[in-house]
Amino acid sequence: MKILIFGAPGVGKGTQAKILSKKLHIPHISTGDILRAAANSKTELGLKAKAIMDAGELVPDDVMGGIIKETLNDEKTRSGFILDGFPRTIEQAEILNKVLNELGENHLILISIAADDELIINRLSERRECTVCHTIVNLIFLNDENVCPNCGSKDTFIKRKDDDADVIKNRLKVFHRNTAPVLSFYEDKAKLINVDGTKPVEQVTDDILNQLNLN
């Protein structure tokens, strides 16, 4: 099963992708994680990507296209994948379409998760990163906002620059300007599944599985 998770920043794409990855036993490919790893490596490309992300802008298509092509050529994606965070522009969608055609993968499912901008801003403003294990969490959903649920470290959370309110608002502007049109690109190229991202996480998952006929 080849799945694209689509929606604005903070709508819950990553959360649902991780859940579906476990349920469907296919890899979750997060371009955000790939880019953050590149940024942490402090290579020339990584530092360039970090500067772009810190400003809430999009990483150039040629860079992202190369990353995705290399990833989808990996043996672990042969039985399927969940692609999270790509494509973000029409140009990237065309790049992905070319890559998939070369790999003989023509049966895509696009899951579109929607939520109002105000809700997204509130959600992202509460995101934090653990400085020990680099896990991204949301304080809204933590039982103890001082303890990392992944590594158990205490008082290690920091707020990333790209989760500041002004940067979030800019990211949403970029999404509506550059990424939202991608949905129309896939109208005749993929099976479209629309879900309400304002519902509780478990209910969003159930809605997706029902539309995939897996419940």
Catalytic residue among 48, 160, 169, 199: 160
Q: Is 78 labeled as catalytic in the residue annotation?
A: no
Q: Is 171 a catalytic residue?
A: yes
Residue 72 backbone zone (phi > 0: left; psi -120 to 50: alpha; other: beta): alpha
3-state secondary structure of 187: coil
Catalytic residue among 36, 50, 88, 128: 88
88 part of the active site:
yes
Is there a catalytic annotation at residue 123?
A: no
Annotated catalytic residue within 36, 50, 123, 127: 127
- Strand pairing report for 190-196 and 108-114: parallel
Distance CA 153, CA 195 (A): 35
Question: Among the options 13, 50, 123, 128, which is catalytic?
Answer: 13
Q: Per the structure block, which two tokens stand in for 70?
A: 């290399």
Structure-token pair, residue 160: 């990333």
127 is catalytic: yes
Contacts of 18-25 with C-beta under 8 Å, sequence gap 24+, read 19/201, 19/205, 20/82, 20/205, 20/208, 21/82, 23/209, 23/214, 24/80, 24/82, 24/214, 25/79
Are residues 25 and 19 in contact, defined by beta-carbon separation less than 8 angstroms?
Answer: no
Out of 2, 123, 128, 171, the active site residue is: 171
> Tokens at residue 137, please?
């969490």
Spatial distance between the Cα atoms of 129 and 46, rounded to a whole number of angstroms:
18
* Rounded distance between C-alpha atoms, residue 111 and residue 190, angstroms: 10
Instruction: Catalogue the active-site residues.
Output: 13, 88, 127, 160, 171
